[in-house]
Structures are given as structure tokens and as C-alpha cells.
Amino acid sequence: MKKRLSLIVLVITLIGILAGCGTKSSADDKKEPEKIVHVKVGVTGTDGQYWNLIKEKAKEKNIEIDLIEFSDYTLPNNALANGEVDINAFQHLAFLSQFIVENDVDIAPIGSTVIAPMGLYSDKYKDSSEIPDGSEVAIPNDPANLGRGLKVLEATGLVKLTKDVGLYPTEEDIIENPKNIKILPVVAQQTPRVLPDVEASIINSGIAGQAGFTLDKAIFQDDPNSEETRPYLNVFAVRSEDVDNETYKTIAKIYQEEDVAEAVKEDSNGGNVVVDVPKEELQKTLDQLIEDIRSKKQ
């Protein structure tokens, strides 16, 4: 009887041990899924299909990208500063520096995206020299692109600007205008749309590509590889407190992947070229631009 009782106790004990082991194994098998991080990215207009590829790649890293589209260049930076978006990707360093000085906000670049030539387009003339007296030429109206656009016009010989005018010339800096060209400043996204109503229009390469204009159709363009165009390198921007955010840095790295770069090129009809510049160099250029702007305001 004693032996039987001992045997029963032993069996019960073994069952308990096995049941306990089974429970532990089951718990180990049920690992919690990794948390998905949601990131709002501010862009302008209808950005290309390459963003679909970026979103897919980010999702594999448990990052959910929500594109927030804006129709005006000033809005994505305001949204970033106010916390309505986490990152934006639409502007070059020259535009960002001007915005920072004018609005006293802490925004910084965390990665480069593309650099693009700025072209002069016309559906009436094949060369800038053919543009007649008194012609109207459309140009982006934001300070950075207005300045760059005027420099494009100067490079064509249509106008001449004040010497050492810097990055942000205005119409007041035109000192020679032999053909009496009339400058029509418009919102950058409108520059392709007004082309039928003017003799020529200066169009950002990204916007030109989205509107169906290939760069080889421009009657003139600036050189994207020159030192003078470095301030026009486009960037991912974040609030300064987020420059070391690993999730945001991952998105910037994805942009540099080969298949994404090819998709960007295709979406822009060859007008945009993905460039990889370290954030430290981007910040250095931005700081210099800010310093130049502030020194001219004194």
C-alpha cells in the first residue's frame, strides 16, 4: 500500500513538472510582435511613385510612413516646427536657411536626397537668345528659388545682377535688362502651368519632371555639379532635437538605396539625381548659409 501511494505521488509530481515545462515552452513560442513606429513625412505636391517603394522598405523595418502632402513651400516647415509632421522632404539647404532665419525655428538636416538642375523652359523658342524684347518670364516666388532663378537668367545673358549679390538676389538687384524682360514671380508648383501664357518659365527640376518636362527639353539649365549649386542640395529635415532619432535616420538611409535612386530618376524623367552627403557636411553648409543671411541683415 505504501509503495502504491509513493508511486501515485511520483506520477502526480512528474505530470506537474511536465505540465510546467509545457507551459514555459508555449510562452516562449508566443513572442510579442515588434512595435510598429508611425512616422509622418511632409512633402509638397504629389511626390513620385518612389515613395511607395520607400514605404514598402520601411515597413519591413517596422516603420509605417504616412505622407502628408502640402501645396505650398512654407507649410511643410511650419508643420514640422509645430509637430504636425515628424520629417519633411521637399526643400534644399538654401530654402531651409532662409526659413530658419525668418522664422527663428530649430530645424536641421539629417540626410541628403537629390540635387537637380534648374531649367528655363519655353514652348515658343528653342534658345534663350530668341526670347524677344518685352517678354514675360515666370519664376518661382520663394526667396531661395527666386534668387537661383535670377542667376539662371543672368547665365543666359538676359539680365545682369549686382556683383557679389549672394544666394538671394531679388528683382531689385537687376542692374542690366537689355530686353526689358518682365519677371513674373509665381508659386513654384505653378511654373509649368503658366508656360502657355508666358514666353518662358524657370521650373525646378522635380516639378518639371512631375509635369512631364524632361531636362533635355530645357532651353537652358544651371550645372548641378558646380560648387555654386551645393546650397541647392535637397534634404530630409527634422526638429533639431530629433537629429539622432534612429527611425528617422533609417528612412534617410533607405532613400539612398540603389533601387530607390533608380525610381527617383525615373519619376523625375532623369531630372533628379540622388546624392549621399553626410549630415555633418549638410549642417556645415546650412550654418554658413544662415551666417551669410544674418550678416547681410545687419
Tens of pLDDT, residues 257-291: 999 999 998 888 777 889 999 999 999 999 999 99
| Mean pLDDT value across the chain | 87
The reply to whether 118-223 shares the fold of 37-115+232-297 is yes
Q: Give the CATH number of domain 37-115+232-297.
A: 3.40.190.10
Q: Give the residue extent of every domain in the chain.
A: 37-115+232-297, 118-223
Task: Name the least confident of 149-158, 183-192, 288-297.
Answer: 288-297
Residue 119 three-state SS: strand
Residues composing the chain: 298
Q: What is the mean pLDDT of residues 21-27?
A: 47
- Torsion sign (Cα): 124, 129, 133, 135: positive
Residue 72 Cα distances to 120, 126, 190, angstroms: 21, 30, 10
Where on the phi/psi map is residue 77: left (φ > 0), alpha (ψ -120 to 50), or beta?
alpha
Q: Is the pLDDT of residue 225 over 80?
A: no
Q: Does the structure show a pLDDT above 80 at 4?
A: no
Mean pLDDT of 7-35: 52
- Percent of residues, the chain, with pLDDT higher than 90: 66
Right CATH number for 118-223 from 3.40.50.150, 3.40.50.1110, 3.90.1300.10, 3.40.190.10? 3.40.190.10
Q: Judge whether 188 and 74 are in contact, CB under 8 Å.
A: no
